[in-house]
Amino acid sequence: MTKLSSLDQKINQVFTGCVVRKDLVKEIRGNAIVPSYVLEYLLGQYCTTSDEDSIQSGIQSVKEILSHHYVHKNEAELIRSNIKEIGRQKVIDKISVTLNEKDDTYEASFFNLGINKVIVGSQTIKKNPKLLVSGIWCIAEVEYYHVEDPKVVPWLLSSLKPIQMARSDVDGYKEGRKNFSMDEWIDFIMQSMGLNPEVFSRRNKFIQLCRLIPFCERNYNLMELGPKGTGKSHIYSEFSPHGMLLSGGEVTVPKLFVNNSNGKIGLVGFWDCVAFDEFAGNQKKIDKALVDIMKNYMANKTFSRGTQTMGAEASMVFVGNTSHTVPYMLKTSDLFADLPDKYHDSAFLDRIHCFNPGWEVDNLRQDMFSSGYGFVVDYFAEILRALRNDDYSAEFNKFFTLGEDISARDRDGIKKTFSGLMKIIFPNNDATEDETKELLTVAIEGRKRVKDQLLRIDSTFNRTNFVFFKNCEPFKEIPVQTLEEIEFHDIYFHGVPEAVPTSSADQHQTAVEAPANETQINAIKEHVLEEKHEEIKENQKGFSLNELVAPYLKGCKKLSITDPYIRNFFQQRNLMELLVSIVQMNYPLEEIEVHLITIEDEFKGDKQEENFNKMKESLARFGLIFTWEYDTARTIHARHIETDTGWKISLDRGLDVYQSFGGDAFDVLTYLPELRPCKAYEVTFIKINK
């Protein structure tokens, strides 16, 4: 039996009966092609426990239920035959209903079972109106009763129960939240999404959390573009029975809004979140009338049916794949470049509240999925739906004020994103000043990314100074920049008319940029060295630690590296990369001595020693003498490099500066560290012998 982590123990203690181990979904899925919330609904009936025997018994029960009741399309004929012979049977299937106006009846269609025109009572429709729009997954009891009249369908619907919770205990949920710190709660939510929080940086966790906002915030417009395989659409198809994912990104006005011929309301009237998958694609044919109606709906929450104006609360999500890198798009066009022409429109894009940077998310790997405990998806989906009634959009005003330059539409986007994050992370509205600042910064960056790209598309937009202020320091700006602006500062505003800088963010570049070519690299190396402090943003790319410190190592004959954490393979790999860069600077004319001070691995000391010896032997052939010692007292904490030329380089994270990545022989990031996303860290260069 696997020992539970301290977080999993707390989760099971506080939310008994509402959580499930997330790896069980894969174990029971088999070849059942159903959303995760359907499987977790069943798990929630049998496996909401941490007792291993009960879990195994519950898994067996769920497998038997799926085996006996889930309808596989290729076995539909056999199940129909069984129902005929036995008389009735419960099935798990996706059911949709249409109104037969000629006979004044509601008729159900079973997606996998393949039966149609099954009569449904009006009361069932009143209780479950979503049956009329694209259908819902249900547990239904079907009977067979044959009569001589060929017009009468022999199939009868005895009972129908949607696979979703009847109610949600929001008060109990909020009370349970009080037992967790912010970091613990974020990790809990990540596990509830089926993701392993240990392999995600804090920034990447917020990117994932932003995907949940459309489920808890009414009329929220989110866009996320990025490479294939990063899980952009997964959350909208698998996570909630209140979300609808439209494949292909193409839809008609009647299906989405209203059918003027019969007055039937479309998807926005029934679903909390309507997501458009594969939204990008320059060649797609788009109905301009649809775009115009969407513009009005996204701005005003209303749409027209003839002369009548109607309202709805569905949030809109647009996810699609990019075909180029971020710097290429910034250099040649904009970050919306892959959208169809009719959506590549400033009026439409200005309605987007948050532009989530999907290009920062790694392709999903096996180690990214959680085996820990998280909320039963259906329970959590109902909680998020209930939280749509709350409004936290102005709560940051207790501590902060937005800059006057930020327009009303920008403020609306910022407030809605902030409100959504508050509901997800602080449902009790008890965030501290520092916690509020972090959420507000995320919200401002999401809207700034939209506005900065609009400057490239439409010259009538003015450059906005995205800053905010502490209420107690009304004249001290807190600027916000997108990560792309920091990484690619030289081309970020390419083609945008210059604006007079109004903040320190416009006047001073705080991040280190990658040398674009060999000439620039040489220029940096030859630059006069000076004491300075550098801050690297989380997920920032475009340079390596080796290039950052290389100018200060040039010309030295001896240097020492102090870092207590050179234990794991990736930490030793980072050390080797630094030593190789030192070889490149000195070989073949010079020799250099490098001494490492670290702490011996308590459990894998033999492997650590073996790897150091391998490094020593390899480096010695190229003039680098590598030695090491262990701090047996285990007292070292500060991490730094000292050279015999009088420089001390203080590294707050030591050599552990890169986010986790695959790192196999066919991964580009293995060979180009400057392209790896970084962890947030700081470097200080100090002259100790002046």
The span from the CA of 468 to the CA of 479, in Å, is 7
Name the 3-class secondary structure at 372: coil
User: What one-character-per-residue DSSP string does 186-204 give?
Assistant: HHHHHHHTTB-GGGS-HHH
> Tokens standing for 99?
């109104």
Q: Alpha-carbon torsion 263, 267, 269, 270, what sign?
A: positive
> What percent of the chain is predicted at pLDDT more than 70?
93
Place of tokens 């909020």: 174
DSSP strand E in 493-567: where? 532-536, 558-562
Q: Which of the four pLDDT bands, split at 50, 70 and 90, describes residue 458?
A: very high
Q: Is residue 506 over pLDDT 50?
A: no
Among 18-22, 433-437, 520-524, 673-677, whose mean pLDDT is lowest?
A: 520-524
Give, in order, the Cα–Cα distances in Å from 292 to each of 347, 412, 435, 450, 641. 9, 20, 39, 19, 59
Summary count for the chain: helices (H), strands (E) = 26, 26
Q: Is residue 664 over pLDDT 50?
A: yes
Per-residue confidence (pLDDT) for residue 248, from 0 to 100: 63
Distance of CA 360 to the CA centre of its chain: 9
The span from the CA of 67 to the CA of 48, in Å, is 21
Q: What amino acid is encoded at 605 in this protein? A: G
> Tokens standing for 336?
């919306």
Q: Are strands 467-470 and 400-402 parallel, antiparallel or unpaired?
A: antiparallel
Q: Which of the four pLDDT bands, split at 50, 70 and 90, describes residue 689?
A: confident
The model's pLDDT over 563-576, given as tens digits with 9 standing for 90+, comes to: 999 998 989 999 99
Residue 487: exposure state from Cβ atoms within 10 A (0-12, 13-18, ≥19): buried
The model's pLDDT over 60-111, given as tens digits with 9 standing for 90+, comes to: 888 888 888 888 888 899 999 999 999 899 999 999 999 988 889 999 999 9
Q: Is residue 273 over pLDDT 50?
A: yes
CB atoms within 10 A of CB 533: 11
Per-residue confidence (pLDDT) for residue 35, from 0 to 100: 79
Q: Are strands 558-562 and 592-598 parallel, antiparallel or unpaired?
A: parallel
> Tokens standing for 234?
């997964």
The model's pLDDT over 145-167, given as tens digits with 9 standing for 90+, comes to: 888 887 788 999 989 988 866 55
Among 273-287, 321-335, 567-581, whose mean pLDDT is lowest?
A: 273-287
Q: Which of the four pLDDT bands, split at 50, 70 and 90, describes residue 516?
A: very low
H or E stretch including 348? helix 346-349
Cα-flanking dihedrals φ and ψ of residue 563, to 5°?
-155, 115
Q: Which of the four pLDDT bands, split at 50, 70 and 90, describes residue 231?
A: confident
> What percent of the chain is predicted at pLDDT more than 90?
55
Q: Which of the four pLDDT bands, split at 50, 70 and 90, describes residue 21?
A: confident
Residue 506: exposure state from Cβ atoms within 10 A (0-12, 13-18, ≥19): middle
Q: Which of the four pLDDT bands, split at 50, 70 and 90, describes residue 523?
A: very low
Torsion angle of C-alpha atoms 240, 241, 243, 249, degrees rounded to 10: 100
Q: Identify the CA nearest to 551 among candidates 589, 576, 523, 575.
A: 523
Angle at which helices 36-46 and 377-386 pack, to 10 degrees?
110
Per-residue confidence (pLDDT) for residue 181, from 0 to 100: 97
Average pLDDT over residues 221-233: 91
Q: Is residue 510 over pLDDT 80?
A: no
Per-residue confidence (pLDDT) for residue 690, from 0 to 100: 59
The span from the CA of 73 to the CA of 14, in Å, is 41
Q: Identify the CA nearest to 124 among candidates 105, 111, 110.
A: 105
Beta bridge partners of 176: none
Q: Is residue 502 over pLDDT 50?
A: no
User: What one-character-per-residue DSSP string does 458-489 give?
Assistant: -TTSPP---EEEETTEEEEEEE---HHHHHTH
The span from the CA of 14 to the CA of 382, in Å, is 18
Q: What amino acid is encoded at 48 in this protein? A: T
For residues 620 and 626, is the Cβ–Cβ distance under 8 A? yes
pTM: 0.77
Give, in order, the Cα–Cα distances in Å from 359 to each of 165, 184, 225, 327, 355. 35, 26, 7, 11, 11
Per-residue confidence (pLDDT) for residue 278, from 0 to 100: 87
Per-residue confidence (pLDDT) for residue 524, from 0 to 100: 43
* Structure-model confidence comparison of residues 281 and 294, the more confident one: 294
Give, in order, the Cα–Cα distances in Å from 30 to each of 27, 39, 138. 7, 11, 19
Angle at which helices 182-192 and 6-14 pack, to 10 degrees?
80
Per-residue confidence (pLDDT) for residue 136, from 0 to 100: 85
Q: Is residue 48 over pLDDT 90?
A: no
Name the 3-class secondary structure at 290: helix
Q: Is residue 479 over pLDDT 90?
A: yes
Per-residue confidence (pLDDT) for residue 525, from 0 to 100: 45
For residues 42 and 66, is the Cβ–Cβ distance under 8 A? yes
Q: Which one of 48-52, 104-108, 177-181, 302-306 scores highest in mean pLDDT?
A: 177-181
Domains parsed from the chain with CATH numbers: 73-162 (2.40.50), 167-508 (3.40.50), 518-687 (3.30.870.30)
Per-residue confidence (pLDDT) for residue 515, from 0 to 100: 43
Q: Are strands 105-110 and 258-259 parallel, antiparallel or unpaired?
A: unpaired
In the 8-state DSSP scheme, what is residue 362?
P
Beta bridge partners of 68: none
Per-residue confidence (pLDDT) for residue 627, from 0 to 100: 97
Q: Are strands 624-630 and 221-226 parallel, antiparallel or unpaired?
A: unpaired
Beta bridge partners of 598: 630
* Structure-model confidence comparison of residues 127 and 298, the more confident one: 298
Q: Which of the four pLDDT bands, split at 50, 70 and 90, describes residue 114?
A: very high
Q: For the chain, how many residues are written?
A: 690
Q: Is residue 519 over pLDDT 70?
A: no
Per-residue confidence (pLDDT) for residue 2, from 0 to 100: 59
User: What one-character-per-residue DSSP string does 416-466 give?
Assistant: HHHHHHHHHH-TTS---HHHHHHHHHHHHHHHHHHHHHHHHH-TTSPP---
> Tokens standing for 247?
């494949």
The span from the CA of 383 to the CA of 164, in Å, is 12
What separation, in Å, do the N-terminal and C-terminal C-alpha atoms of the chain show? 60
Cα-flanking dihedrals φ and ψ of residue 653, to 5°?
-110, 5
For residues 192 and 407, is the Cβ–Cβ distance under 8 A? no
Name the 3-class secondary structure at 634: coil
Average pLDDT over residues 386-409: 96
Among 296-300, 384-388, 630-634, 647-651, whose mean pLDDT is lowest?
A: 630-634
Average pLDDT over residues 386-397: 96
The span from the CA of 163 to the CA of 143, in Å, is 20
User: What one-character-per-residue DSSP string does 145-186 give?
Assistant: ---S-TTS-SEEEEEEEESS-S---HHHHHHHHTTS-HHHHH
Per-residue confidence (pLDDT) for residue 509, from 0 to 100: 42
Among 44-53, 374-383, 478-487, 650-659, whose mean pLDDT is lowest?
A: 44-53
H or E stretch including 391? none
Q: Is residue 512 over pLDDT 50?
A: no
Q: Is residue 333 over pLDDT 60?
A: yes
Q: Is residue 306 over pLDDT 80?
A: no
> Tokens standing for 311?
């309202």
Q: Is residue 275 over pLDDT 90?
A: yes
Q: Which of the four pLDDT bands, split at 50, 70 and 90, describes residue 250?
A: low
Per-residue confidence (pLDDT) for residue 31, from 0 to 100: 67
Among 31-35, 358-362, 385-389, whose mean pLDDT is lowest?
A: 31-35
CB atoms within 10 A of CB 170: 16
Q: Which of the four pLDDT bands, split at 50, 70 and 90, describes residue 517?
A: very low
